[in-house]
Amino acid sequence: MSEGMTTSAWRPRSAWAGVARAGRHGRLQGEAGVRLTLGDGMGLATLIAADGQETALRQILTDRFGWSLPEPGGANVVGERGLVWSAPGQWLAIAETRHALDGLAEAVRGLAAVTDQSDARALVRVSGPCARMALSKGLTIDLHPSAFRTGQSAVTSIAHIGAQIWQRNEAPAYDLTVARSFADSFWSWLDHAAAEFGYEVVGTSGH
């Protein structure tokens, strides 16, 4: 990745462009049961430890970025930055912007492979009193507080579309990502799932 010096006239297109519309949808009476905040422009990267380098990697990430590597099924995200466990020896690094991760690859050279995924995912934050019920229509994992809490993550599928989810707080609010090319199909399902509760779409959580 080049350093953050882009002066491009090219405008990035949000994964949700032409897919999600801001405003109130589904059941209109009462408070919206589900609140959907669209993520856009965030920095994402896959971090895969080289064999036997996990301890050293852990140290560098703490020293240089103040990050701690989450255990399997974990997510250490503070604000819009942090790491989400993805697979054995593999994490998803998250930051507010794509350029916020520019120094990562160099910092961990020799210890881990870093691959930019800033454009690979469509991210939506799901909250509201009916968030868990709406998500349970597509997720085959248990989001009950006795099974899944803040700081936990899962790689799974939602409505037959591959997804990664982590819980941000006990409200609860969840961050959910699907592959970018599936955004339209995913949204069609989400609209169907959340309509009975009434849902509200709000702009972007990135910039």
CB of 137 to other proteins, least distance (A): 5
Q: Does residue 107 interact with other proteins by CB under 8 A? A: no
CB of 104 to other proteins, least distance (A): 14
Residues in contact with 193: Cβ distance below 8 Å, sequence separation at least 6, in sequence order: 134, 135, 137, 138, 159
Backbone φ and ψ for 140, nearest 5 degrees, come out as -100, 15
Which of these segments, 59-67, 76-84, 144-152, 165-173, binds other proteins (CB under 8 A)? 144-152
Q: Does residue 207 interact with other proteins by CB under 8 A? A: no
Q: Does residue 79 interact with other proteins by CB under 8 A? A: no
DSSP conformation letters of 164-191 = EEEEEETTTEEEEEEEGGGHHHHHHHHH
Whole-number Å distance between alpha carbons of 197 and 187: 16
Q: Does residue 58 interact with other proteins by CB under 8 A? A: no
Q: Does residue 167 interact with other proteins by CB under 8 A? A: no
Whole-number Å distance between alpha carbons of 204 and 22: 10
Between residues 66 and 181, which has the closer beta carbon with respect to other proteins?
Answer: 181
Query: Which one-letter DSSP state was computed for residue 64?
Result: H
Q: Does residue 106 interact with other proteins by CB under 8 A? A: no
| End-to-end Cα separation, the chain, in angstroms | 20
Please state the length of the chain: 207
Which residues are paired to 76 by β-bridges?
83
CB of 159 to other proteins, least distance (A): 7
CB of 22 to other proteins, least distance (A): 18
Which of 36, 95, 123, 159 is the binder for other proteins (CB under 8 A)? 159
CB of 12 to other proteins, least distance (A): 4
Q: Does residue 86 interact with other proteins by CB under 8 A? A: yes
